[in-house]
Amino acid sequence: MSEKKCLFRGAATALITPFDEKGQVDADAFRRLVSLQYQSGISALVVAGTTGEASTLSLAEKELLLQIAKDEVKGNIPIIMGAGANDTKNALFLSQNAEKNGADALLLVTPYYNKGTKEGIRRHYEEIAARVHIPILLYNVPSRTGVSLSLADYARLFKQENIIGVKEAEDNMEKEAWLSYSFGKSASLYTGNDTHLLPFLSLGGDGIISVISNLYPKQIEDICRLFSSGKAERAREIFFALLPLMKLLFEETNPSPVKYAMSLLGFGAPYLRLPLFLPEEPLQKKIKAALSCISF
């Protein structure tokens, strides 16, 4: 990869998927969420990713969510579709279906559970990249998948014309530094860790695919824009105001804490699909306390 192809600079929200009391997708709530995000100035949106409980969604539900997001933003910001799977054939089907239905880009998590070999995982991505035509972001999150993409993996995969970057969610700031050092001029680099946002920007990262921006889209986007315009002190103030809550949102499995937090701010009820469930009561109390300390 020589010329850098940047999908967006700033913040993208990894959207939750609202459910109703019967466990069905709440299309009206999702539409309101997308509209709020767009009006808040977010740079991009991720539909049916990990935070959207993608592994529990049917194909029809994913298509519905994508259509709603497209309708609301009207092509003004990228809609990135989660299309990963632990089966290459299924991931390819999901990727081609997302492309057919108008996704602007794909977010492809490393194949999970199987714990593929290095060569197998590289070929998994190469097979999909060869058969779709929209941009692909790799998604490395070893805490969930049991495998991790290395700098050598990135060096090979970024040679594919439409693999344009990565959401790096390994809790390893040194790795993010080397990632930016090695590929910052040729690939789109996004952290997937909210608590890494400001340090990652200082390393030259392009932005974040965020969970907390479900709650505070304007503020997360502001951190990115302020930092890039030389107003680091103000960016730091906003970041520090949100830092305790950022940590709490991952004290139990995402998206349970963020859905609970959103319910406290008046955005529906925190329904999840099993095996995810409400946060334990001690965490609920911590989230309530953290929210009470935030004022923008």
Burial code of 59-77, b = ≥16 C-beta within 10 A, e = fewer?
A: eebbbbbbebbbebbeeeb
Give the separation between CA 104 and CA 12, rounded to whole angstroms.
13
CA within 13 Å, CB half, 226: 17
Q: Which residues contact 151 (CB under 8 A, 6 or more apart)?
A: 175, 178, 179, 182
Q: What is the pLDDT of residue 2?
A: 57
Q: Taking Cα atoms as reference points, which of 244, 241, 270 lies closest to residue 258? A: 270
Q: What is the pLDDT of residue 185?
A: 93
Q: What are phi and psi of 45, to 5 degrees?
A: -135, 140
Which one is catalytic: 139, 190, 216, 271? 139
Along the chain (296 residues), what's the average pLDDT of each consecutive run of 10 residues?
Answer: 81 97 94 96 97 96 98 97 94 97 97 90 96 97 90 96 96 95 96 97 97 98 97 97 98 97 88 96 97 90
- What CATH number labels 10-227? 3.20.20.70
Which one is catalytic: 62, 70, 167, 259? 167
Q: What is the pLDDT of residue 296?
A: 82
Q: What is the pLDDT of residue 266?
A: 83
Q: Which long-range contacts (CB under 8 A, 24 or more apart) does 119-122 make?
A: 121/147, 121/149, 121/153, 122/153, 122/156, 122/157
Residues 68, 108 contacting (CB under 8 angstroms): no
By 3-state DSSP, what share of the chain in percent is helix, strand and coil, each rounded to 5?
A: 45, 15, 40
Q: Where are the domains of the chain?
A: 10-227
Q: Give yes or no: 285 in active site.
A: no
Q: What is the pLDDT of residue 262?
A: 94
Q: What's the pTM? A: 0.95
Give the separation between CA 238 and CA 245, rounded to whole angstroms.
12
Q: What is the pLDDT of residue 29?
A: 94
Q: Give yes or no: 5 in active site.
A: no
